[in-house]
Amino acid sequence: MSVPASLDEAIVADAASPLHPYRARFDLPEGVIYLDGNSLGALPSQTVAQTADVVTRQWGQRLIRSWNEADWIGAPQRVGAKIADLVGADPRSVIVADSTSVNLFKLLVAALRAQPGRTEILTEPGNFPTDLHVAEGVAAMLPGVTVRTVDAGAVMEAIGPETAVVMLTHVHYKHGARHDMLAVSAAARAAGALSLWDLSHSVGAVPVALDRDGADMAVGCGYKYLNGGPGAPAFLYVRDTVQARVTSPIAGWMGHAEPFAFGDGYVPAPGVARFLAGTPSVIAMLALESGVDLFREAPRDALFARGADLFDLFAARMAALLPAIPCVTPSDAAARGSHIAFRHPDAFAIMQAVIDRGVIGDYRAPDILRFGLTPLYVGLADVWRAVDMLADIMATGAWRDPRFSVRGLVT
């Protein structure tokens, strides 16, 4: 698609999009342009009814019977299988559990223990903080283990005989650049290391093919592009051929081969279910399932193509109206995710001023303005209006109002 040349053209193109009907499937507030679905996805309307049913009927009326009747017990695998479809994985290789941070911990420890004699976690500086912190924590816990960071472009050559696991975030949370999963996973394998991918900014944003691209392990987030709700459970993937070699450091009963045999000794479940730990947060998991179900209805190719169109329009209008605010996200669609980031020293105050006018993006320290482009509920006209708004805020200096420099706990 060529980029629309006017707001009217953008409105016409939106109405013609196969994604257009999906916007009405979300409860979005009037007058808000929501460009932060990469941080907290919007609320699918069906999740309201679905969650009410889970709480009032499944829990309230059916009580403990729902573990079997409503298959609460099977939810980690059932929802995992649905997510597997979105990340190009065998349905038996993904489960939903815990948070992304906890899943990273479990898989990092498992990877290191499966690779005796190898002591290095290789990653990149500037990775999402929790990924680096969890890696440091694992290194502090396991004798001899170290974390080495090398720049994104140097990762492949840096993989060596010491490397146990290469842990990378597929799409960078800040600038949005995407790693070549196929090439890095192959380089890791050739050097005898495992690859572990964080898909938090990839799942639902760009095509992912874990099985095809040779990834060994992955984790990802449920509350961003999957619209699972604040703090939604995360998912994890372990390649089928790797599953039997790895065990979870949290040997909980839900990951036991026979949880309801209530035996004293721990026997890991066959397959990826061994990475379950304790009782899942059922209400949250079923809210995530509702978001994933909605996502799976949408035509996938059209979705990713539209994400790319939203990006191209955003980039083109910024270059035309605000050339002094550089885009830091790669322009090649295959080399990025589905958010767009710009650099400005006053990014924090500018973003507060934009949010004050109903265009919700976010700020990432120290100087990044970030906008999530979620094609299920964001259209070209939204992007058009958002850039107009930003241009007005810059032209009038509205962002200089001191109230826009007051920082909350969450940015």
Ligand X SMILES: *Cc1c(COP(=O)(O)O)cnc(C)c1O
* Binding of ligand X by 374 (CB under 6 A): no
Structure token pair of residue 358: 């109903």
Residue with smaller CB distance to ligand X, 199 or 242 = 199
Could you give phi then psi for residue 363, rounded to 5 degrees?
-110, 135
The nearest distance, CB 35 to ligand X, in angstroms, is 16
* Binding of ligand X by 99 (CB under 6 A): yes
Among 17, 47, 66, 100, binds ligand X (CB under 6 A): 100
Whether 223 is a known active-site residue: answer yes
Bridge partner list, 359: 33
The nearest distance, CB 305 to ligand X, in angstroms, is 23
If one counts every other C-beta atom within 10 angstroms of the C-beta of residue 269, the result is: 18
Among 17, 169, 227, 338, binds ligand X (CB under 6 A): 169
* Binding of ligand X by 221 (CB under 6 A): yes
Contacts of 67 (CB under 8 A, 6+ apart): 73
Which window, 53-61, 95-103, 246-254, 292-300, contacts ligand X (CB under 6 A)? 95-103
Of the candidates 314, 377, 411, which has an alpha carbon nearest to the alpha carbon of residue 32?
Answer: 377
What percentage of the chain's residues is helix, strand, coil (to nearest 5)?
45, 15, 40
Whether 148 is a known active-site residue: answer no
Tell me whether residue 104 is exposed, middle or buried, using C-beta atoms within 10 angstroms of its C-beta: 0 to 12, 13 to 18, 19 or more: buried
The nearest distance, CB 349 to ligand X, in angstroms, is 24
Among 120, 124, 198, 312, binds ligand X (CB under 6 A): 198
Which window, 68-76, 126-134, 321-329, 355-363, contacts ligand X (CB under 6 A)? 126-134
Q: Which residue has the tokens 């045999």?
A: 261
Bridge partner list, 371: 340
Among 128, 311, 314, 348, the one annotated catalytic: 128
Classify strands 194-198 and 163-169 as parallel, antiparallel or unpaired.
parallel
Whether 128 is a known active-site residue: answer yes
Residue with smaller CB distance to ligand X, 79 or 393 = 79
Q: Which helix (H) or strand (E) holds 135?
A: helix 129-141
Residues with catalytic roles:
128, 198, 223-224, 370
Where do contacts with ligand X occur on this chain (CB under 6 A)?
99-101, 128, 130-131, 169, 173, 198, 200-201, 221, 234
